[in-house]
Structure 1
Amino acid sequence: MGIFDRTTTGHVTAPLSVAVERGALRFFAETIGETDPVHFDSAAARAAGYPDLRAPPTYAVVLDTAAATEATRRGLPRLLDLIGADLRYLLHGTERYCYHGTIHAGDTLEITHEVTGFSDAKGGALEIAHLKMRITHPARGPLVIATRDLIHRLPKVRP
C-alpha cells in the first residue's frame, strides 16, 4: 500500500500568476555563474533583441517555487500536499523540460500543475508520482512544459 493519494490522478491546479522580477532574475543568473550579459544587463538584453533580461533556462525551477509560495498565500494546497507526499520517504526522480519560448524580466506568467498518474517499481518497494508543470505567458502561450517524477521509497513492513 502506497502513501501517495492516487485519487488525485488527472487533477490540474488552478493557474497561479507569478511575476518575473528583474532583481531576482539578475541575482539568480549571477549566482549560477551566467556570463552572458543578456541575463543580468538590461541594455545588453535589449541590444540582443529581448524586451528585458532573459531568464536562464533553469529559472523555471525558481518559478515553480514561487508558484508554491503563491498557493500557500492564497490558502490553496501545495502540490506536494495535494498528492500526499511524505518528505520522510520522498526522493527526486527524473525531470525533463521542453522549452517553447523565452522568459523575460517583467513577464507575468501563469503556472499550473497536473498530476498525470502514479506507478510502482521495484516489486512495490517504490511508488512514483508523475507530474507536469506548465509555464504560460498570456500572449506568447506556453513557454516551458516540465515533467518530473517524485518517488516514495516505501517503508518496509515488519511481520
Structure 2
Amino acid sequence: MIDRRHIGHQMPPFTVVVERGRLRFFAKATGQTDPVYSDDDAARAAGHPALPVPPTFLFCLEMDGPNPAAVRELLGLDYRRILHGEQGFSFHRLAYAGDALRFAQRIEDIYDKKGGALEFIVRQTHVSNQRGEPVADLRCVTVYRNPSA
C-alpha cells in the first residue's frame, strides 16, 4: 500500500518559459488549423499579445520539470504498474509565448479500491504566470496496480 503520509506533500515548484517554436510544433502535431496558434500576426490581429498557449499544452509543459518522475520516485511506484486514470483542467486566464509559468505540484489524495488492488494518486498542479496571476489548475489521477493485493 502507498503510504498515506504523502497526502499533502508539495513538490518543489519550477518555472518553464513558453517557447514560440514549441507552440507552433504542438499546433501542427495536434492538427490545429486556426492560425492564431501558429502565426504571430494572426494572434495579434485576434487581440492576443503573442501566440496563445493551447489549454492542453500546459500538461506538456508540466513534464518539463526538473524530474518528471519525482512523484513516482517519492511514492516508490514501479512504472510498469502505472496507468493514466484521469486528467482535468480549470482555467483562469490565457498564457502566451514568452510567459514564464510556475508549476506548483501537490499530492491531494491517495486512496484505494477493490480491496487495495488499485490505488489512486491525485495530483493537483497550480500554474501561475510571471506576475503571480493564476493561469490554471491541473488535476491528474494516476492508477497503480498493486502487486501485493
Q: Are 2:123 and 1:131 equivalent residues in the alignment?
A: yes
Report what 1:53 is aligned to.
Answer: 51
C-alpha change, 1:8 and 1:58, in structure 2 (3 Å) is same
Q: Are 2:84 and 1:92 equivalent residues in the alignment?
A: yes
State the 1:138 CA deviation.
2.8
Report what 1:29 is aligned to.
Answer: 27
State the 1:140 CA deviation.
5.8
Report what 1:39 is aligned to.
Answer: 37
* In 2: Cα distance, 1:71 partner to 1:128 partner: 21
C-alpha change, 1:148 and 1:122, in structure 2 (3 Å) is same
Native 8 Å contact 1:29 1:55 kept in 2: no
1:1-159 pair list within 5 angstroms? 2=1, 4-67=2-65, 70-71=66-67, 78-139=70-131, 141-156=133-148
How much identity, in percent, do the aligned residues show?
37
Native 8 Å contact 2:10 2:104 kept in 1: yes
State the 4+ residue runs in structure 1 displaced beyond 3 angstroms: none
String of CA shifts for 1:19-49, please: whole Å, max 9, x gaps.
0000011111111010111100001111111
State the 1:6 CA deviation.
2.8
State the 1:15 CA deviation.
1.6
Native 8 Å contact 1:5 1:84 kept in 2: no
Residue identity opposite 1:7 in structure 2: R
Contiguous gaps of at least 5 residues in structure 2: none
String of CA shifts for 1:92-113, please: whole Å, max 9, x gaps.
1111111111121000110010
Native 8 Å contact 2:99 2:130 kept in 1: no
Contiguous gaps of at least 5 residues in structure 1: none
Native 8 Å contact 1:20 1:104 kept in 2: yes
| Segment drifting more, 147-156 vs 105-114 | 147-156
Residue identity opposite 1:154 in structure 2: N
TM-score (normalised: structure 1): 0.86
* In 2: Cα distance, 1:108 partner to 1:25 partner: 14
Root mean square deviation of aligned Cα: 1.7
TM-score (normalised: structure 2): 0.92
Native 8 Å contact 2:105 2:124 kept in 1: yes
* In 1: Cα distance, 2:95 partner to 2:75 partner: 28
When the two structures are aligned, how many residues end up with a matched partner? 149
